[in-house]
Amino acid sequence: MLALLTRPWVKPLLFVLCTVPAFWLVGAGLLNQLGANPAEALIRGLGDWTLRFLCLVLLVTPLRHHTGLVVLARWRRMLGLFVFFYASLHLLAYAWLDMGFDLAELLPDIIKRPFITVGMVAWLLLLALAATSFNRAIKALGARRWQQLHRAVYAVAGLGVLHFFWMRAGKQLFGEVAVYAAILGALLGWRLWRHLSVRARVPA
């Protein structure tokens, strides 16, 4: 079964599947099938998918380690770009549907509301990661500095959960927040455990 993941058609299929939530949400919005508040449903739906793709990106390395499938590493860049894609749609939907692209109101709103400030910082970090996700950027920065920069994905994970927590705090809805926090916490915890295990095996 795992051998199927090495087939050349898997990555294009995965790319198509990654676009499905965006097409579904936008299509449902155009057809007025997102409930009583379609703007809010679209903004939150895109935010939810940003977190889900972030979980998938962080899952790639543990899966590669435990299955031995090196091919999984080739998916990480594409999935990371989809995190940026959905985060950008989330930001665009907020700027358009909530603020009407009015910069005079948009910029003060980002500063005034902490959960939006945190979300904006996370998006700027994702922008830096997306802009340097290509081979030319790796050569320009050097492998070590590139790896250090891309560890910012861990900060994005923390900021994403905090953004979600503050957004839901007003309605005291913390169930979904706890699920994402637990998943991301487990994935980051695995990395910490792996790092400490490797260091423990290195002779002094």
78 within 8 A of 14, measured Cβ to Cβ? yes
Tokens coding 197: 């295990």
In the chain, the number of structural domains is 1
pLDDT, mean of residues 29-52: 92
68 — pLDDT class (breaks 50, 70, 90) = confident
pLDDT above 90 for 42: yes
Distance of CA 29 to the CA centre of its chain: 22
Dihedral sign, CA of 119, 122, 127, 133? Answer: negative
Question: In whole angstroms, what is the distance from residue 164 CA to residue 144 CA?
Answer: 32
Question: In whole angstroms, what is the distance from residue 33 CA to residue 30 CA?
Answer: 8
What is the structure's pLDDT at 3? 64
What is the structure's pLDDT at 2? 60
pLDDT, mean of residues 69-81: 86
Q: Range of 173's domain?
A: 8-201
- Give residue for tokens 């005034």: 112
Q: 28 in a domain, yes or no? A: yes
Is 147 buried (19+), middle (13-18) or exposed (0-12) by CB count in 10 A? exposed
pLDDT in tens, 138-174: 899 998 999 999 999 999 999 999 999 988 776 666 7
46 — pLDDT class (breaks 50, 70, 90) = very high
What is the structure's pLDDT at 1? 56
Contacts of 85 (CB under 8 A, 6+ apart): 22
Q: 3 in a domain, yes or no? A: no
Amino acid at 12: P
What is the structure's pLDDT at 192? 86
Q: 1 in a domain, yes or no? A: no
Q: 20 in a domain, yes or no? A: yes
pTM, rounded to two decimals: 0.92
pLDDT above 90 for 75: no
Minimal CA–CA distance to 165: which of 150, 152, 153, 180? 180
